[in-house]
Amino acid sequence: MTTQNETVFPRGALARGEWESVVDDGIDGWQHTGLRVAELAAGGELALPAAGVERLVVPLSGSFTVRHQGSGDLEPGQHDTTQLEGRPSVFDGPTDVLYLSTGASATIEGEGRVAVAEAPTEEVRPSRHIRREEVPVELRGAGRSSRQVHNFGTPQALDAGRFIVCEVVTPAENWSSWPPHKHDELQPGRESRLEEIYYFETAVERGREAPPEADPFGFVRAYSSPAGEIDVLAEVRTGDVALLPHGWHGPCVAAPGYDLYYLNVMAGPDPERVWHISDDPAHGWIRGTWEGQDVDPRLPYERRA
């Protein structure tokens, strides 16, 4: 049994070398997904050695140059260079991203914060730069359950081997990952098995002035399902990571005055790369209450001038 909040890691608790956070199979019981997060100062660089994983490079803030090779579509010794335009912050709309093929190596240069989603796989797909204007932007829910989803690493947008990657922006006072749902049992066409990583960032609500001592935060909740026991009810802030191997999860709540962001990385053992979920029967009815409600007028969050 996981005791309360033991799968939530404060910023820096998963540090390894030059990386602020690293999630991989070095964590007991973790098998299908990975994540790396780092902050680069001007002139710095990060190395991604060739490995049996596919990767998605996601600028959180700032812009980056990625030199990569061994992608299956290049001759030995050749390398490609991709400029990632990035964005000022995760609350400035979608970013362009770079998918790196299984077995590719890369070097990331630039200034800002960057995340790298990973999944072990032997499947080889071509590396691809997905530009910001190509990213499907979804406004999900309604009213106080409104949130903005950037689906740059989902099956509809990206030909990948194993993982499903997206990011969610939840405006202050709103709930996301709601109603609670799970994906830990194989029911073909109804539910898939996917372990999940949440990486969080928080900020003062867009357009609001706040004193320097403001402390942006949100909450995440997860609880036991027949697949396993878990108990999470935790405050989260920028840089925190939650690992959800199973269980019902939701809501993620943005506190009044503070916006909430999270990057999701999902993958599992099923043969099909698909996100099928089951709602908690106690709360699934809430979806029906969104009918006739407008999406929160603060959305979409787009790049500020």
The string of pLDDT tens digits covering residues 183-204 is 999 999 999 999 999 999 999 9
| 2 pLDDT more than 90 | no
**Quick one: average pLDDT of 124-132?**
96
| 76 pLDDT more than 60 | no
Peptide bond into 76 cis (omega under 30): no
Strand bridging mode 45-48 / 105-120:
antiparallel
| 97 pLDDT more than 70 | yes
pLDDT at 243: 98
Residue partners of 201: CB distance under 8 A and separation at least 6 = 60, 89, 90, 238, 239, 260, 261, 262
**Quick one: average pLDDT of 239-266?**
98
> Could you report the per-residue pLDDT of 34-52, keeping only the tens digit for each?
999 999 999 899 999 999 9
**Sequence ranges of the domains in the chain:** 8-290
CATH of 8-290, one of 2.60.120.10, 3.90.110.10, 2.60.40.10, 1.20.1370.20: 2.60.120.10
- Model's pTM, two decimal places? 0.96
- What whole-number distance in Å separates Cα of residue 273 and Cα of residue 266? 10
The overall average pLDDT reported for the chain is 95
Half-sphere exposure (CA, 13 Å, Cβ side) for 247? 22
The DSSP output letter for 61 is: E
- What whole-number distance in Å separates Cα of residue 236 and Cα of residue 253? 10
Question: Among residues of the chain, what percentage have pLDDT more than 90?
Answer: 94
What are the tokens at 65? Answer: 């140059």
**Quick one: average pLDDT of 151-170?**
98
pLDDT at 74: 52
**Quick one: average pLDDT of 124-150?**
97
The DSSP output letter for 270 is: S
Peptide bond into 251 cis (omega under 30): yes
Question: Among residues of the chain, what percentage have pLDDT more than 70?
Answer: 96
Tell me which residue of 292, 22, 266, 269 sits closest to 168, measured CA to CA: 266
pLDDT at 215: 98
- What whole-number distance in Å separates Cα of residue 85 and Cα of residue 157? 19
Region label for 30, one of left (φ > 0), alpha (ψ between -120 and 50) or beta (otherwise):
beta
